[in-house]
Amino acid sequence: MKAFYKALCLLVIAGLLSLGVAACGSSDANNDQETNSAASNKVETNPVGIKLIPATVTNVVDGDTIDVEINNKEERVRLLLIDTPETKHPSKPVQPFGPEASEYTKRTLLGKQVGLELDVSERDRYGRLLAYVWLDDKMHNEVLIEKGLARVAIFQPNVKYVDRFREKQHQAQKKGVGIWSIENYVQEKGFNSNTQQKQSNITNKEQNDEGTQNKSCVGKIKGNKNSKIYHIPSGAHYDEVADHNVVWFCTEDEAQAEGYRKSQN
């Protein structure tokens, strides 16, 4: 009988040990599932801790509108809280500093991996995504304002950075850069077409005067007053320089003597 009871005790102990191991294994499995779930819900952020949607810029429409690819899907994005002068409006002419804003956005963002930060409203009435566009730790919307290539444009309820943008705009106004270099050009709801026409007339007169002075030039060289870059007739961006921003040179030496550097394209 003693042998029987001893064997029975051993079986009970073995059973208890087996249940303990199984319980531990179950606990470890649950922990692994929780870890994997947390990883799948991880939110991508930029260096300053902003939640972002990763995207690749595939096309630049103009200074404040771009096309991006998100998860193999093409989306049009309208940059929030800013407005750049028109370059492709169906009923408006190209506006001063519109080409410069478009060119800067293209040069900075095209082909780049960016992060899109949403505000309250995800889309506008045209179905475009509304976003603040981040490249590393810089927000492109804000940079355009700093450079005088965009004005602050408020469309409720997306106003997360409005105070910050207004401060940057105030600084650009004080410096008189870009759109702020033309008196009464920037208005509360857009850009003054009368000022634009006046500026165009002045530009045409300047071009006519310079054309008379340089009528002996055989391949005219375009200098961009804003960027201090000159373009030769065969250059890729020769025709993109805005008329109001052109200064003409007869030779490259003449352009370089005035502090201009040659376009790399």
Provide the annotated active-site residues. 78, 86, 128
* Cα–Cα distance, 72 to 33 (Å, whole number): 29
* Cα–Cα distance, 148 to 192 (Å, whole number): 16
Cβ atoms of 107 and 140 closer than 8 Å:
no
- Degrees to nearest 5, angle at CA 188 with 183 and 190: 80
Pairing relation of β-strands 113-117 and 82-83? unpaired
Cβ count within 10 A of residue 187: 11
Take residue 88 and report the two structure tokens written for it: 């492709």
Which three-class secondary structure string do you get for 20-74?
HHHHHHHHHHHHHHHHHHHHHCCCCECCCCCECEEEEEEEEEECCEEEEEECCEE
